[in-house]
Amino acid sequence: MKEYWRSLEDLLPEEDASQEKKSSVVLSDTSESSKNTRRDFLKYFGFSIASAAVLAGCERPVKKAIPYLIQPEEIRPGTANYYASTFYDGAEMVPILVKVRDGRPIKIEGNDLCQMTGGSASARVQASLLNLYDESRPAQPMLDGNPIRWEDVDAKLSETLAAWDTSKEFVILTPSIISPSTKKLLKDFSTKYPFVVHETFDAFSYSALREAYQMSFAQPIIPAFRFDQAKLVVGFNADFLGTWLQPTAFGRQYASARKLTDGQRDMMRHVQFEATMTLTGSNADERVPMPAVDEAYYLAALYAQLAKEAGIAVTSVDAPQAIVKVADELADAKGKSLVVSGTNDSSIQRLVVEINYLLENIGKTILVDRPLNLFQGDDKAFDDLLTRMENGNVGAVMFWETNPVYQAPLQGRTEEAIKKVPLRLAVQSQQTETALLCNYQLPAPHFLERWDDTELVSGVYTLTQPAIRPLFKTRSPQENLMAWAGFEGSYYDYIKLYWKENIYSLELAKGKQFESFWKVSLRDGIVAGNPTSGATSYQGADISAIVKANAAATSGNDLELVLYQNVPVGDGTLANNPWLQELPEPVSRVCWDNYVSVSPAFAALRGWTQGDVVNVNGIELPVLVQPGQARNTLSVAVGYGRSNAGRVASDLGKNIYPLVELSNGHRAYVIPKVEAVATGSTYELAATQSHHSMEGRALVRETTIADYLANPASGNEMHEKVEKLHTTLYHEHEYKGHHWGMVIDLNSCIGCNACVVACSAENNVPVVGRNEVRRSHEMHWIRLDRYYAGDSDNPEVVRQPVMCQHCDNAPCENVCPVAATNHSSEGINQMAYNRCIGTRYCNNNCPYKVRRFNWYDYTGADTIPNNRVDPAGMTLDLKRMVLNPDVTVRAKGVIEKCSMCIQRIQDKKLNAKKDGRQLADGEIKTACQQTCPADAITFGDMNDPNSKVSKLLKDARQYGLLEELHTLPSVVYLTKVRNKDKNKTLS
Amino acid sequence: MVKTLSGSLWRGEKKLKFFFLCFALFYWAGFTTEAFAKKQGPQPDVKVGERLFYGLIPTGEGSNSCVSCHAMYPADSMNWNPSAIEMAKVAAEMDLATFKEHLLTPTGAMREKVHVKYQLDDEQLFHLQGYLAELADTGVKEQPISINKLLIFLLLGGLMTLALVDIFFTKKIPYKAVHVLIIIFGISFQLKIVAHEMIDLGRSQDYMPDQPIKFSHKVHAGDNKIDCLYCHSNADEGKSAGLPSAGLCMNCHQVVRNGSNSGQFEIAKVVDAYENNKDIEWVRIHNLPDHVFFSHAQHVNVGKRECQECHGEVENMHILKQENELSMGWCLDCHKKTNVDFLDNDYYKTFEALHKDLAEGVRDSIQAADIGANDCMKCHH
């Protein structure tokens, strides 16, 4: 058995740093309530008895019940409706279903009609719901700091446009527009006003990728990637499971190609070369730390190897050993491999395109004829725009959900250029740094409040429909344009007309009337038709110069800095979101901050330890020692340090975007040379990493593909032994009907954390804030434990989702003095909150540490105001609208934990009973299972021999967490299998 | 002792006189300033209006006082007439001529019969309307609290104190058993009251609040035999039974505008709400705590329970009242006693072992509690 370690402190036991850190937490800084003394307690106690006595004689508050005047046909009180819509934040697009209860959107789920995502959704998609109820959203139109009415805005701007000096441009700066209707509207608008120029700005730039395809395929496209068609994936600094392009879709493809269930015995192999330890790298079968500045050299070497084999004359490159081996593997998997890079550098991207061409992957794992419409921004065009602004050619600029001042400050150049534009409009659904520079603040609705459509790839259309009336005085940017141009009707009418003229006519409708086609499209949310774009073919490109220029390694002793998007916050657009900020970063397990990751070797060299604050080119950040980090690489996540984002995200972490510069016309997120010096101060990061330590027991079991094929139980030999030892004094539970169980395939789980946010949204899990996380008070019902194994410079990583295991012999149940937690007749370990008196005995007796105690009132359920700790505004009436009315909001002093989404079980059971039929397998989906892109979680009835769960329980890979304790968990794990030859490793 | 008592009474009388004097002064001062403030026109004498309303000034031979029909406070039985406050709100909006017409020559069978005996002159009407306008403005005063358990509780306390005083100091009663009995009885009765109050904390059995419209379930569900599910259709499908929308009421009341008991007044409220987009704010009677998730569909649709099993004989209630205590014990007891429709609903095929028991005659029926109805998380998510 491998020796796993959870963090560097485990590996170096002599330095008991974590212990010291913990005791240094100041207990009194969280709230006034911690000043409560025993005397206060007695006061409250006495008061509550007295008030109970008084209350007994008083009348209860009168509750009103106000029915509809005219009941809408589709609304039934207490029953949720689901509306198909689309999430698009300028980066990822995911078709969704919005769960609306009594007029309030309370949950987002993936639309299962979408083949690309299969009904899954990422953490950010799940969390975007909370941005709807963000109290810091701009609430009404403003002109130079004064409130103004929409009619006056329209009057003024129509007048301005009518009297426009046509020598000046009116620039509309949007994120990549994937809506065909909006594209047409922009065209119509600029036809009416010819001086209008539409420019695209992506928060995080992918422009080098488009340029590379421009060079080789004569069209600036981003092709569709098919990880599921590949047998070998080689990633270079591309976090395609976490943030790159379409992480939800890629995660799904990736996991499906690596599954070993349903008789599948073939598994995709994944090799990752990277500088930062990313989510994707931590999933790789083999991972090679590589300095980011050497990426071009590694790729040039790989190209040279492959070219040599293909008989193409090219400068010979002295290849690193790992590249030589990978080149051989790739050559063996022609047409079934995929090489991707996430670096925004045209040389690198051009090398990758050519490598894939040599590997005959075009048309197989890379589909150039169905390009993605995402990330249309061109950094060179943006540079040109700034120049035009500086030269005074731009008379007005409208920032349509774009924030270049924050995401592309370019040493203050962007801000200075914007200030030279006389008329500046901010059309934003959230507060932005750019809006502070604008004359007009025109609030836009959240995407759940407005109409839109998308065309992600040619021929696949989705609709975005409002699930609630706008909460504030907002108007969508499209409606603005229509009002200023004097177009008739609403944007809804415009979309409908566009669909009637363009999509309906594509014979998608199959003989239907348009109205019925429209209604079906709206119900489904997604319409798949035939792609209309023409074929794109390889034009040939000479990259010998690039190979020559990168024929040798450039990394030396200089420190390089890599800026990356982390999984929770991404590019920072949705940063003002408590759910996302509370979500631990999948690798480091740190939340509520960004930090500078350094390799253990480099940290030792400089004498830095975790939490030391260092100054990186003028930006002070705490150090996180990250095993697997390339030796001289520092990494910092973008998306933090917002100065004007709203209550939650403002001044959280540090903004690293100011270090981004244009390099060869593209925004470069790798800075080859930086200075970093310790400042002498320290900062405690809120990390969930060294919490809940399981003390190195055999929790994650692992094997290699060869061993697995030889013996399916390999790595899991212990299970059989433990099974033989089971004896008990307790009576076994008898389950007469259902016996709910869950199987988690560790080979599928990619650790994206989508389940964590889905669970929080479904079960009203509180947000506790940075200080409480530091005190190990985080409340997530499901966590993704991450363990390292092997060499700290390049460790192997495994991870394991852990929630309440619903043990049949539950240690928690025996110790509860008030029977608040006990076993249900369906095998669920139940928790009755209103019975719990908060002894926390159960918490102490749980070997899995999955029970959570409400140290304070985090969600406003409590009547005593001093009990409240609310760092993120979650007790505001507006944010409380997101609460699921089917789940109790817990008050201070009670334990809570995973309930296996009992409200969903009850709901589906009731449906079956009403229909008078048996429950179908797979009908009940827990929130974590529903959103999982990797399909790693299966839930079902273990009493039903034909259920998927029962079948998986027969898999030789199955084992229970800490099964040697004979807790008989109802949650079962399947061994992780690594596609790696123990005798032939890359490094 | 008697002397001192009368002395104190007398002093009290003196104090009272002084108080009255002050009050009168203040009242006069207040009245005059008010009179100065409102210069235009004669002002109604609200006091006279109030006396007229309560029938303290004769309103015509054989006529009832206004308040005898238009009650100030809700009662235990249905009073079909509009309440005083409702009348006041309507009257406050009228000019004197309309008010006179409505009061003395009303339309509608009920009012014609009752109001015919009223003989009021214009001045009296003026005062009466003034009073009603003020009532509409200030609202009904809080209902005087009737004697309740608290008084008994305090009386017992006093009695026990007397017994204690007597046992140690005054020693008037020679038999100690009397004191002991009094104390034992007092304490046990007090404990009983406390225990009942505590059990009832958060419960509201027999809750019977006044509703904005005098809607009678007896008239609708009893006399006219309208099915419960016609109005509460959601009970069959959803968690909550739902209240009918005003639109649904209008299905019948588009035509039925004159109630046999209430005349036009109550039905007119529904029509007004429907036509003028006004909410009807019903008072919720059956309330469960926030941590209880009860589903009507489970009980009505699946369990095939009659509404009356929980809600009582609603079809005989003019004023709706919470019949049962709706406590957890009450729920669990019913689950233990109630048979499940085990053979007809295919959902229950999942419970194979229990089906076997039934087939083999080990047991003749399956109760809800046998299949987990009393699990905590069935109702407490």
Q: Check whether residue B61 and residue B120 sit in a common domain.
A: yes
Q: What is the pLDDT of residue B197?
A: 80
Q: Check whether residue B296 and residue B354 sit in a common domain.
A: no
Question: Distance (Å, rounded) from C-alpha A322 to C-alpha A325?
Answer: 5
Tell me the β-bridge partners of A562: A635, A670
Q: Which of A137-146, A722-731, B29-38, B217-226 has the lowest mean pLDDT?
A: B29-38
Which chain B residues are closer than 8 Å to A62 by Cβ?
209, 283-284
User: Touching check for A863 and chain B: CB below 8 Å?
Assistant: no
Q: What is the pLDDT of residue A955?
A: 92
User: Touching check for A60 and chain B: CB below 8 Å?
Assistant: yes
State whether B201 and A52 contact (CB < 8 Å): yes
Strands (E), A411-552: 423-428, 440-443, 452-455, 460-464, 526-528
Residues 293..322 of B with a Cβ closer than 8 Å to A: which? 293, 295, 297-298, 301-302
Calculate Rg over the CA atoms of chain B. 30
State whether A902 and B281 contact (CB < 8 Å): no
Which chain A residues are closer than 8 Å to B291 by Cβ?
833-834, 888
Nearest CA in chain B to A902: B381
Q: Check whether residue B243 and residue B335 sit in a common domain.
A: no
Q: Is B22 exposed, middle or buried (0-12, 13-18, 19+ CB in 10 A)?
A: exposed
Q: What is the pLDDT of residue A2?
A: 60
Q: Report CA torsion sign: A878, A879, A883, A889.
A: negative
Q: What is the mean pLDDT of residues A891-913?
A: 95
Least CB-CB distance to A914: which of B297, B350, B378?
B297
> Can A4-16+690-978 and A556-687 be said to share one CATH topology?
no
At the topology level of CATH, where does A79-200+375-430+445-455+466-524 sit? Rossmann fold (3.40.50)
If one counts every other C-beta atom within 10 angstroms of the C-beta of residue A392, the result is: 11
Least CB-CB distance to B243: which of A67, A736, A738?
A67
pTM, rounded to two decimals: 0.87
For residue A32, give both structure tokens. Answer: 């006034």
User: Touching check for A945 and chain B: CB below 8 Å?
Assistant: no
| Residue B40 pLDDT grade (very low, low, confident, very high; cuts 50, 70, 90) | low
Nearest CA in chain B to A71: B245
Q: Check whether residue B299 and residue B334 sit in a common domain.
A: no
Question: Distance (Å, rounded) from C-alpha A728 to C-alpha A718?
Answer: 19
DSSP secondary structure string for all residues of B39-60:
-SSPPP-HHHHHHHHTTSS--S
DSSP secondary structure string for all residues of A722-750:
HHHH---SSPPP--SS--EEEEEETTT--
| Bigger pLDDT: A433 vs A33 | A433
Q: Does residue B296 lie in a domain region?
A: yes
Q: What is the mean pLDDT of residues B139-146?
A: 71
B interface mutation test: which of A60, A69, A79, A944 has the most B CBs within 10 A? A69
Q: What is the mean pLDDT of residues A247-261?
A: 94
Q: Check whether residue B214 and residue B317 sit in a common domain.
A: yes
Q: Check whether residue B4 and residue B66 sit in a common domain.
A: no
If one counts every other C-beta atom within 10 angstroms of the C-beta of residue B290, the result is: 11
pLDDT tens digits along A870-879: 999 999 999 9
Least CB-CB distance to B295: which of A832, A835, A910?
A910
Q: Check whether residue B196 and residue B236 sit in a common domain.
A: no
Nearest CA in chain A to B234: A76
Above 90 in pLDDT, residue A379?
Answer: yes
Q: What is the pLDDT of residue B206?
A: 84
What backbone phi and psi angles, to 5 degrees, belong to A72? -65, 145
Tell me the C-alpha to C-alpha distance, in Å, between residue A522 and each of A113, A688, A930. Answer: 12, 42, 22
Strands (E), A848-891: 852-853
A548: which DSSP letter? H
Q: Check whether residue B360 and residue B297 sit in a common domain.
A: no
Mean pLDDT, rounded, of chain B: 83
| Bigger pLDDT: A424 vs A725 | A424
Least CB-CB distance to B346: which of A65, A828, A917?
A917
Q: Which of the residue ranges A39-48, A442-451, A731-740, A854-863 has the most confident prediction, judged by mean pLDDT? A: A442-451
Above 60 in pLDDT, residue B31?
Answer: no
For residue A63, give both structure tokens. Answer: 């509750």
Q: What percent of chain A has pLDDT above 70? A: 92
User: Touching check for B358 and chain A: CB below 8 Å?
Assistant: no
Q: Are A684 and A959 in contact (CB under 8 A)?
A: no
* Helix ranges (DSSP H) in B201-257: 217, 228-231, 246-253
Q: Which of A631, A630, A610, A633 is CA-nearest to residue A622?
A: A610
Q: Check whether residue B53 and residue B86 sit in a common domain.
A: yes
Above 50 in pLDDT, residue A13?
Answer: no
User: Touching check for B279 and chain A: CB below 8 Å?
Assistant: yes
pLDDT tens digits along B68-125: 888 888 777 888 888 888 888 888 888 888 888 888 887 777 777 778 888 888 888 8
Above 50 in pLDDT, residue A21?
Answer: no
Q: Which of A49-63, A646-660, B77-91 has the lowest mean pLDDT?
A: A49-63
ipTM for the predicted complex comes to 0.85
Q: Are B69 and B114 in contact (CB under 8 A)?
A: yes
Least CB-CB distance to B380: which of A738, A834, A913?
A834
B144: which DSSP letter? P
Tell me the C-alpha to C-alpha distance, in Å, between residue A223 and each of A228, A369, B215. Answer: 15, 7, 67
Above 70 in pLDDT, residue A363?
Answer: yes
Tell me the β-bridge partners of A194: none
Q: Does residue B160 lie in a domain region?
A: yes
The 3-state DSSP class for residue A154 equals helix
Least CB-CB distance to A736: which of B237, B302, B353?
B353
State whether A906 and B293 contact (CB < 8 Å): yes
Above 80 in pLDDT, residue A27?
Answer: no
Q: Report CA torsion sign: B241, B245, B251, B252.
A: positive
- What ranges do the domains of chain A cover? 4-16+690-978, 79-200+375-430+445-455+466-524, 218-371, 556-687
Above 80 in pLDDT, residue A45?
Answer: no
Above 70 in pLDDT, residue A113?
Answer: yes
Question: Distance (Å, rounded) from C-alpha A338 to C-alpha A233?
Answer: 5
State whether B243 and A906 contact (CB < 8 Å): no
Mean pLDDT, rounded, of chain A: 90
For residue A847, give both structure tokens. Answer: 């070997």
Question: Distance (Å, rounded) from C-alpha A871 to C-alpha B221?
Answer: 52
Q: What is the pLDDT of residue B99?
A: 86
| Bigger pLDDT: A451 vs A984 | A451
User: Touching check for A79 and chain B: CB below 8 Å?
Assistant: yes
| Bigger pLDDT: A16 vs B204 | B204
| Residue B142 pLDDT grade (very low, low, confident, very high; cuts 50, 70, 90) | confident
Above 50 in pLDDT, residue B215?
Answer: yes
Least CB-CB distance to A78: which of B238, B278, B346?
B238
DSSP secondary structure string for all residues of A311-373:
T---------HHHHHHHHHHHHTTTSEEEEE----HHHHHHHHHHHHHTT-BTTTEEEEEEE-
Cα A766 to chain centroid, rounded: 19
- Its CATH class, for the domain covering A556-687, is mainly beta
Q: What is the pLDDT of residue B193?
A: 85
A interface mutation test: which of B237, B291, B349 has the most A CBs within 10 A? B291
Tell me the β-bridge partners of A452: A464
CATH architecture of A218-371: 3-Layer(aba) Sandwich (3.40)
Q: What is the pLDDT of residue A62?
A: 84
Q: What is the mean pLDDT of residues A202-230?
A: 93
Q: Check whether residue B165 and residue B232 sit in a common domain.
A: no
User: Touching check for A228 and chain B: CB below 8 Å?
Assistant: no
DSSP secondary structure string for all residues of A261-300:
-TT-----EEEEEESS--HHHHH-SEEEE--GGGHHHHHH
Q: Which of A34-43, A315-324, A652-661, A704-713 has the lowest mean pLDDT?
A: A34-43
Cα A63 to chain centroid, rounded: 41
Q: What is the pLDDT of residue A774?
A: 93
| Bigger pLDDT: A263 vs A531 | A263
Q: What is the mean pLDDT of residues B326-352?
A: 92
Which residues are CB-neighbours of A870 under 8 A, at least 6 positions away? A769, A858, A860
Q: Does residue B144 lie in a domain region?
A: no
B30, B33, B35, B40: CA torsion to nearest 10 = -150
Per-residue b or e along A860-884, where b marks 16 or more CB atoms closer than 10 Å to that residue's CB: bbbeeebbbbbbbbbbeeebbebbb
Above 70 in pLDDT, residue A506?
Answer: no
Above 60 in pLDDT, residue A35?
Answer: no
Above 70 in pLDDT, residue A769?
Answer: yes
Nearest CA in chain A to B208: A62
Q: Check whether residue B56 and residue B134 sit in a common domain.
A: yes
* Number of domains, chain B: 5
Q: Check whether residue B69 and residue B131 sit in a common domain.
A: yes
Which chain A residues are closer than 8 Å to B351 by Cβ?
736-737
If one counts every other C-beta atom within 10 angstroms of the C-beta of residue B178, the result is: 13
User: Touching check for B289 and chain A: CB below 8 Å?
Assistant: yes
Question: Distance (Å, rounded) from C-alpha A130 to C-alpha A647?
Answer: 13
Above 50 in pLDDT, residue A691?
Answer: no
Q: Which of A736-740, B163-167, B193-197, B216-220 has the lowest mean pLDDT?
A: B193-197
Least CB-CB distance to A899: which of B244, B350, B377?
B377
Domain that includes residue B53, residue range: 42-138
Which chain A residues are closer than 8 Å to B243 by Cβ?
65, 67
How far is A73 from chain B, CA to nearest CA, in Å?
11
Q: What is the pLDDT of residue A781?
A: 96
Least CB-CB distance to A69: which of B274, B344, B345?
B274
Question: Distance (Å, rounded) from C-alpha A393 to C-alpha A951?
Answer: 68
Residues 24..43 of B with a Cβ closer than 8 Å to A: which? none
Residues 187..226 of B with a Cβ closer than 8 Å to A: which? 197-198, 200-202, 204, 209
Q: Which of A550, A561, A553, A552 is CA-nearest to residue A632?
A: A561
A881, A886, A891, A894: CA torsion to nearest 10 = -150
Q: What is the mean pLDDT of residues A440-466?
A: 94
CATH of the domain spanning A4-16+690-978: 3.30.70.20
Q: What is the mean pLDDT of residues A245-254?
A: 95
Which chain A residues are closer than 8 Å to B332 by Cβ?
none
Above 50 in pLDDT, residue A38?
Answer: yes
Above 70 in pLDDT, residue A10?
Answer: no
Q: State the DSSP H helix or E strand holding residue A549, giving kind and residue range, or none if neither.
A: helix A544-549
Which chain B residues are closer than 8 Å to A826 by Cβ?
372, 375
